[in-house]
Amino acid sequence: MTTRDYQPLLLKNLHRYDSARLSAYEQSGGYLSLARALKELTPEQVVEEVKASGLRGRGGAGFPTGLKWSFMPKGPGPKYLILNADESEPGTFKDRLLLERDPHLVLEGFLIGCYAVGCNQGFVYLRGEFVEAYRILKQAVEEARAKGYVGKNLLGSGFDCEITIYRGAGAYICGEETALLESLEGKRGHPRLKPPFPAQVGLYGKPTTVNNVETMANVPLIIERGGAWYAGIGREKNTGPKLYCLSGHVPKPGVYEFPLGIPLKELIYDHAGGMLRPEHPLKAVIPGGSSVPILRSEQCDVLMDFDSLVAAGTLLGSAGVIVMDDTVCMVDALLNLARFYAHESCGQCTPCREGTGWYVQILERLERGGGKMSDLDLLVDMSDRIQGNTICPLGDAVAMPVRSYVMAFRDEFEYHVTQKKCLTAAAVS
Amino acid sequence: MPESPTEQVTLTIDGVSVTVPKGMNLIEAAKTVGIAVPHFCYHPNLSIAGNCRICLVDIEKMPKNQIACSTRVAPGMVVRTRSEKAVKARQGVMEFLLINHPLDCPICDQAGECVLQDFSYHYGTGRSRFEGEKVHGPKGVDLGPHIVFDAERCIKCTRCIRFCDEVTHSSELGFFNRGDHAIIGTFPGRQLDNAYSGCTADICPVGALTVTEFRFKQRVWFLKRVPTVCSGCARGCNVDLGINENRIYRITPRENPEVNQTWICDEGRLSYEPFQKSERLGGAQAGPTAGPSDGAARPLAPGAAWDEAAAALGEIARKHGGEAVAAVTSGHATVEEQAALKDLMDRLGAEKIALPLHERGEDDALLIRKDKTANALGARLVGGAGARVSDLVPAIASGEIRGLVVLREDPLGEGGEVVAEAFRKLSFLLTLDWRKTRTAAISHLALPVCAYGEMDGSYLNFEGRIQLVRAGLLPFQESDPAWKPLLEIAHRLGGGEVPASAREVFRSLAARRPFLARLDTPAVGKMGVRLDVGTV
Amino acid sequence: MIPGPESRAKIDAAVREYPHAPSALLAVLHLLQQERGYIAPEDQVWAAGRLGLSVAHVAGVVSFYTLFRQKPMGRHHVQFCRTLSCQLRGARDLLEHLKRRLGIREGEITTDGRFSLVTVECLGSCGTAPMMQVNDDYHESLTRERLDALLDSMK
């Protein structure tokens, strides 16, 4: 199957103007999977089906979802399933699309998940800036409640499930699952030490699992068609349909759905329209949101799935594909991201708190033309001191890009030192 | 927890085999074999924060370094604190901590006991690659009545915040902002003013929180540390006096898990101040006066003073019987002093010994006792106390009691004119005190005794724990520990040889009194001994 | 007096939703900000009392989250995205244009109180870059012309 023939599964309802309404969702077979799960499957069977599907988390970590659910203890609760709708990774906007345009798809998957792990009060942690999504989601929950999909004794199954929508207030770090839990408990979003893991000690100290929006959107499909069918999409250990977010120097930025493993160049050239300005060829691509190592254009013959990108020295991450042409100064681009991480660092632990600010100082100096050669090795050395030594992955999320940009575009960084200006400005102007 | 409390785990740290109880963290486990794992945010009496990252260690089979403070021992675990991976991480953390840290060492009170200084010395690279503007913040902020805050020095370890949340439950402190602009502080306009606020300065690893009363007073490396106990209340928190050139510059808590853990209240921390501010009684003085001024007092040599006291008290006892002599003992006095007064009273056949109460406020949930004397229990068990001052006053006023010995108390100062009128009828009033009180001023004889910090002795705290107080200062002028003049007077009335030291007094007392279990002072030591004192 | 009866009713409802009252703190702060336009110190004291939290805790939370403002903003609070994908599509020049048009710098308010301006990090709209959020609303696929028209329409 070529990707041109691909029929969307996750985005299949979006052609309708009223795709967010329950009536539209039910017309296309919505909530039948929930009914099937509640009436025909035990929670364990739901978990097994999801395991069989090979579904891996779509938030950035790619952890197998069925396995994650199986870490939850059996037995009485309270136990919590939380929908992580705090999408804040630069370059990523797929969860927002799902929440605003097909909230019931997400809700249905979430409710099935609650059933699978034994959660009677599911929380949606929604990014505070997503006000439109909040209104739409609130309405969707009320529509679902009226139909008996939310609340007590869902569809006569005896299973209760209430949904509470929790609005964040502007903090990228709250997308990290333990910081999310802290925020949900009414505190600053400071990530927790692990162990203990949320499945043992989570929200309010109770067993908890946190799942991404897109991950949950896959669940109704898995219950409807079966895990084995789902596993036929993509390849082994990299299964299912995937939403890719294209942004930057492409004529048709947006969310694209394809089976996991589409070639990156096909995504850019066959679907997103190629390069924005044909006179400015591809220079670099960030394949998975700002926190992953960058690819030079000659490294872009790669498949967009978890394992292929790891083999290529980067990560699928949030599938935020940021395309850059040859007008982009890599020092400037890195400085932009370094400022992002410095702004978003919670401030708890030493390497991230101090290191993110220091990165910005060094990069500003380099960008302005006041940098030294030793700054380049310093940046890489700092990354070695930060990565793996912090409480949460935000340290890694800044260290990996810094190291990869300096190493992949060393000549450009050196040019900034010796010529005190951008290589690209000189080349392009 | 279901596991047996004595279940042991064996692991290897830096090649050394270590066997410790299950549940112990790696910092404590390493300590048992003398391996120091550096740490800032970890404190054994506070929850684990794990944010400083300086305690990162290399554990075999784990790809990333792990923080030692929150990692529990596991059988067969192999830990390396000095592998290349661990050292690189540690040096990284040190460098990161120093990039925004101000170069305040020359004016910072923490110098000499600063963990950041010490770790830079032991674990740092000795050079900085930082070239830029450091993050700035408020300095010299009066955060509370006893605490000065410097935001630039703060390393955000959050020990102070956790202390106020978990120990005093007062939660005055919070964490504000994000990233390298994060800062600790109070709600705007509020103070850090719980009763133990000074403890935040103790636990602050750097000079971000310092005690106001100690600010710029003394470099800590000049201070001699004298282990003793606080005299501010019946708890007897273990403390160190910080002394230089015969002056107490500060009191800091000394760890005793069975008394005060690592804490002391602010009042106890500053309890040395009254001793520095009151007017001292420097030598024996004799002579009755009608009013509070001591214009008619005449100085006496000690020997002559003791002779005079023995003669006067002996005569009253001979002519009018032991019932005509009484004493006021004190919870401020040491066990040795209280015992000596009791001995003197026994020699005179006198039985009435009053103990004034000094209570203020309530016992709190942490350390503070409302009994503001360190040794009221000693006064009752050893000092023979059984009456109130108010019991004695009518008998003095009626002339039934003619001779009175007052130890470290000021009944006139406390009791006003009624007491004064009665006391003026005494044939012989002997006072032993460290300061010029109103009682001393009208006494026939006032003898100078040591103030807190000038003598050895012991206290019994409210739980019956015997603890040692130690001398760190020279006695003021002719001051003695009160047992000395009391036993000298008793000796002149037929009592035994006067011991040469507080230890000898204690030993002979311990031999006579079963509850003291024949202890000698070395056995009491720095931690004290909990005694079985029965019902009191 | 803030919070007014309507806010209080919403706050009571929010508190009821959670097994533990402190979880309602962010919802309470959102509501207080909606009513006053920002969160004043007395609001923080009120929230602390209502939920059984220390004032230091509440103040720490307010200072952590970027959507919570402790000073009044303009009627139209412009939050302009400055992260990479928007930068790649001309956000830098557009921001300069915006600042010239409003006559203010980041962090400032126009003298007539109509607009305030801040730059913010990625708003999750990279496919329609460059973009901004004004109060609650996203305005995407901005061009100089669209931006000018939008600003004109905001009274």
The rounded radius of gyration (Å) of the Cα atoms in chain A is: 22
Residue A419: other Cβ atoms inside 10 A: 11
Tokens describing residue A28: 């296309």
Give the range of the structural domain holding residue A118, as residue numbers without chain letter. Answer: 3-231
Give the separation between CA A413 and CA A421, rounded to whole angstroms.
10
Cβ–Cβ under 8 Å, residues B40 and B115? yes
Give the separation between CA A244 and CA A256, rounded to whole angstroms.
5
Tell me the domain boundaries of chain C. 5-64, 76-153
CA A219 to each of CA A55, A69, A223, A331, C54: distance values in angstroms, whole numbers, following the listed order? 9, 12, 6, 41, 42
pLDDT at residue A230, rounded to an integer: 98
Return the H-helix or E-strand segment holding B347. Answer: helix B335-348
DSSP β-ladder status, A208-212 and A162-167: unpaired
In our burial notation (b when 16+ CB lie closer than 10 A, e otherwise), range A144-177 reads: beeeebbeeebeeeebebbbbbbbbbbbbbbbbb
Instruction: Give contacts of A 342-361 with C, CB under 8 A.
Output: 343-344, 346
> Cα dihedral sign for B506, B511, B515, B521?
positive
Taking CB atoms and an 8 Å limit, are B179 and A356 in contact across chains? yes
Closest CA to C15 of C60, C49, C59, C63: C49
Q: Which residue of C has its CA nearest to A277?
A: C89
pLDDT at residue B295, rounded to an integer: 56
- Strands (DSSP E) contained in B192-314 are 209-211, 224-229, 238-244, 247-253, 285-286, 298-299
Tell me the domain boundaries of chain B. 8-97, 101-222, 284-535
Cβ–Cβ under 8 Å, residues A330 and A355? no
Q: What is B428-475 written as a DSSP string? A: EEEEEESB--HHHHH-SEEEEB--TTSS-EEEE-TTSEEEEE---SPP
pLDDT averaged over chain A?
96
- A231, A249, A275 - which closes a domain: A231
Instruction: Give contacts of A 20-49 with C, CB under 8 A.
Output: none
How many domains does one find in chain A?
3
Amino acid at A380: V
ipTM of model: 0.97
What architecture is domain B284-535? Answer: 3-Layer(aba) Sandwich (3.40)
Amino acid at B234: A
Tokens describing residue B428: 């012989």
* Closest-CA distance of chain C to residue A86, Å: 10
Q: Which residues of A touch C15 (CB under 8 A)?
A: none
Cβ–Cβ under 8 Å, residues A196 and A156? no
DSSP β-ladder status, B325-328 and B352-354: parallel
Tokens describing residue B468: 């040692």
Cβ–Cβ under 8 Å, residues B410 and B442? no
DSSP β-ladder status, A295-296 and A282-286: antiparallel
Cα first-last separation, chain C? 27
pLDDT at residue A77, rounded to an integer: 83
Tell me whether C141 touches chain A (CB under 8 Å).
Answer: no
* Closest-CA distance of chain B to residue A350, Å: 5
- A325, A359, A389 - which closes a domain: A325
pLDDT at residue B260, rounded to an integer: 98
Tokens describing residue A393: 């992955």
> Cα dihedral sign for B76, B81, B83, B84?
positive
Tell me whether A169 touches chain C (CB under 8 Å).
Answer: yes
Domain B101-222, CATH class in plain words: alpha beta
- pLDDT tens, residue by residue, A198-246: 999 999 999 999 999 999 999 999 999 999 999 999 999 999 999 999 9
Please say if the pLDDT value at position C127 is more than 50.
yes
CATH of C76-153, one of 3.40.50.300, 3.40.50.1170, 3.40.30.10, 3.40.50.1370: 3.40.30.10
Residue C103 burial class via C-beta count within 10 angstroms: exposed 0-12, middle 13-18, buried 19 and up? exposed
Cβ–Cβ under 8 Å, residues A86 and A75? no
Taking CB atoms and an 8 Å limit, are A121 and C22 in contact across chains? no
Residues in chain B: 536
Q: Which residues of A touch C124 (CB under 8 A)?
A: 87-88, 92-93, 95-96, 127, 129-130
Residue C56: other Cβ atoms inside 10 A: 27
- pLDDT tens, residue by residue, C18-40: 999 999 999 999 999 999 999 99
Tell me whether B89 touches chain A (CB under 8 Å).
Answer: yes
User: Residue B159 carries which DSSP code?
Assistant: H
Q: Which of C22, C26, C89 lies closest to A167 in CB terms?
A: C26
Helices (H), C18-54: 25-36, 41-51
Residue B315: other Cβ atoms inside 10 A: 14
- pLDDT tens, residue by residue, A115-143: 999 999 999 999 999 999 999 999 999 99
Cβ–Cβ under 8 Å, residues B457 and B484? no
Give the separation between CA B418 and CA B434, rounded to whole angstroms.
24
User: Residue B236 carries which DSSP code?
Assistant: -
Tokens describing residue B91: 């040096």
Q: Which residue of C has its CA nearest to B169?
A: C54
What architecture is domain B8-97? Answer: Roll (3.10)
Q: Are residues A53 and A198 in the same domain?
A: yes
Q: Are residues A164 and A50 in the same domain?
A: yes
Residues with Cβ < 8 Å from B86, sequence gap 6 or more?
A: B56, B57, B58, B65, B80
| pLDDT per residue of chain B (536 residues) written in tens, 0 to 9 | 555 557 999 999 999 999 999 999 999 999 999 999 999 999 999 999 999 999 999 999 999 999 999 999 999 999 999 999 999 999 999 999 999 999 999 999 999 999 999 999 999 888 889 999 999 999 999 999 999 999 999 999 999 999 999 999 999 999 999 999 999 999 999 999 999 999 999 999 999 999 999 999 999 999 999 999 999 999 999 999 999 999 999 999 999 999 999 999 999 999 999 999 999 999 999 876 433 454 567 888 989 999 999 999 999 999 999 999 999 999 999 999 999 999 999 999 999 999 999 999 999 999 999 999 999 999 999 999 999 999 999 999 999 999 999 999 999 988 888 899 999 999 999 999 999 999 999 999 999 999 999 999 999 999 999 999 999 999 999 999 999 999 999 999 999 999 999 999 999 999 999 899 889 999 999 999 999 987 54
Task: Give all strands of the β-sheet with C137-139 in edge-to-edge order.
Answer: C115-120, C76-81, C132-134, C137-139
User: Residue B263 carries which DSSP code?
Assistant: -
pTM above threshold 0.90: yes
Taking CB atoms and an 8 Å limit, are C57 and B176 in contact across chains? no
SS (H, E, C) chain A: CCHHHCCCCCCCCCCCCCCCCHHHHHHCCCCHHHHHHHHHCCHHHHHHHHHHHCCECCCCCCCEHHHHHHCCCCCCCCCEEEEEECCCCCCCCHHHHHHHHCHHHHHHHHHHHHHHHCCCEEEEEECCCCHHHHHHHHHHHHHHHHCCCCECCHHHCCCCEEEEEEECCCCHHHHCHHHHHHHHCCCCCCCCCCCCCCCCCCHHHCCEEEEEHHHHHCHHHHHHHCHHHHHCCEECCEECEEEEEEEECCCCCEEEEEECCCEHHHHHHHHCCCCCCCCCCEEEEECCCCCCCCEEHHHCCCECCHHHHHHCCCCCCCCEEEEEECCCCHHHHHHHHHHHHHHHCCCCCHHHHHHHHHHHHHHHHHHHCCCCHHHHHHHHHHHHHHCCCCCCCHHHHHHHHHHHHHHHCHHHHHHHHHHCCCHHHHHHC
Rounded (10°) CA dihedral B253, B255, B259, B261: 90
Tell me whether B405 touches chain A (CB under 8 Å).
Answer: no
Helix, strand and coil content of chain B, in percent to the nearest 5, comes to 30, 20, 50
Closest CA to C60 of A93, B325, B523, B173: B173
Q: Which residues pair with B239 in a beta bridge?
A: B228, B253
pLDDT at residue B280, rounded to an integer: 94
Which CATH fold would you assign to the domain C5-64?
Arc Repressor Mutant, subunit A (1.10.10)
Please say if the pLDDT value at position A46 is more than 80.
yes
Q: Which residues of A touch B179 (CB under 8 A)?
A: 342-347, 353, 356-357
Tokens describing residue B250: 């500060």
Q: Are residues A148 and A255 in the same domain?
A: no
Q: Which residues of C touch B185 (CB under 8 A)?
A: 56
pLDDT at residue A429, rounded to an integer: 40
Q: Are residues A219 and A81 in the same domain?
A: yes
Give the separation between CA C142 and CA A251, rounded to whole angstroms.
15
Give the separation between CA C74 and CA C115, rounded to whole angstroms.
4
Cβ–Cβ under 8 Å, residues A64 and A51? yes
Residues with Cβ < 8 Å from C111, sequence gap 6 or more?
A: none
Cβ–Cβ under 8 Å, residues B269 and B414? no
- A274, A297, A325 - which closes a domain: A325
Q: Are residues A360 and A288 in the same domain?
A: no
Tell me whether C13 touches chain A (CB under 8 Å).
Answer: no
Cβ–Cβ under 8 Å, residues A413 and A333? no
pLDDT at residue B292, rounded to an integer: 47
- pLDDT tens, residue by residue, A140-183: 999 999 999 999 999 999 999 999 999 999 999 999 999 999 99
Residues with Cβ < 8 Å from A328, sequence gap 6 or more?
A: A249, A283, A284, A424, C88
